[in-house]
Amino acid sequence: MAEKKKKTYVAASEETKEAAKQIRKQAKPVGNASGKRVGAVVCWIIALIFEVCALMVFLGKLDLKFMPQLYQLIAFLVLDLIFVIIGSQLWKQANHIDPVSEENAVKFWLWNNMGVIVASVAFVPFAILALTDKNADKKTKTIATVAAVICLLIGGVASYDFNPVSSEQKAAAVNALGSETVYWTTFGKVYHTHDDCSHLNQSETLTYGTVEEAIAANRVRLCKTCANRDNISGVATEN
């Protein structure tokens, strides 16, 4: 059996471990979901402005003069991509702090895939225009289309939430664990109720905090081994 590694503990918030246990009893918030959503929308609006700039450059209605047209197109598409991704990360963080109910399946899907939808809006129109414009230079059309498709793929993957969480799922976890301290690793996908869990044997650094902090950090499921050890049911688990 592999030797257990000595662990370093890192608080999810700035409190010490003992102080954190007292504060958790007061349902301490883990972030401002509304502020993050506003920030996401602002970033997405800026991204769409850069898409419009790219469209105008492609149609010859905007020329920065100090760089070739192709460079202008790529620059605006890259800026478009950057703000799409920043907005999507903020949106996903907000969804983990204040998730929506899964009772309405359509709303739940739209809310958790908003970043992907915006990424499509930010690049598909440009790609279609570049592909169908008969007056543009062939080289420019090809490179611009490829650049837009690559940005769409990168933006779509970066914007997709691979671990969506519902308000019901979060409430179940909070009700089941209460003020108990949970642990998670830097690259892990789940949180643990025991720092001596066998799945943590090779982890040198553990972050600890509340269940809410774990979910906000994108660890939305409880370790199945820990759940079985504590006889916890009704909470989403994963190995």
List the 8-11 sheet strands across, edge first: 8-11, 205-209, 182-185
pLDDT bin (cut points 50, 70, 90) of residue 42 is: very high
Examine the pLDDT at 23 and tell me if it is beyond 50: no
Most confident of 3-7, 15-19, 129-133, 201-205: 129-133
What digits encode the pLDDT tens for the residues 92-104?
999 999 999 999 9
pLDDT bin (cut points 50, 70, 90) of residue 5 is: low
What digits encode the pLDDT tens for the residues 110-143?
999 999 999 999 999 999 999 888 888 888 889 9
Mean pLDDT of the chain: 87
What percent of the chain shows pLDDT beyond 70? 89
Residue 51: the pLDDT is 97
Higher pLDDT, 63 or 1: 63
How would you write the chain as a 3-class SS string? CCCCCCCEEEECCCCCHHHHHHHHCCCCCCCCHHHHHHHHHHHHHHHHHHHHHHHHHHCCCCCCCCCCHHHHHHHHHHHHHHHHHHHHHHHHHHHHHCCCCCCCHHHHHHHHCHHHHHHHHHHHHHHHHHHHCCCCCHHHHHHHHHHHHHHHHHHHHHHCCCCCCCHHHHHHHHHHHCCCCEEEECCCCEEECCCCCHHHCCCCEEEEECHHHHHHCCCCEEEHHHHHHHCCCCCCEEC
Q: Calculate mean pLDDT across residues 65-85.
A: 94
Residue 24: the pLDDT is 38
Residue 179: the pLDDT is 79
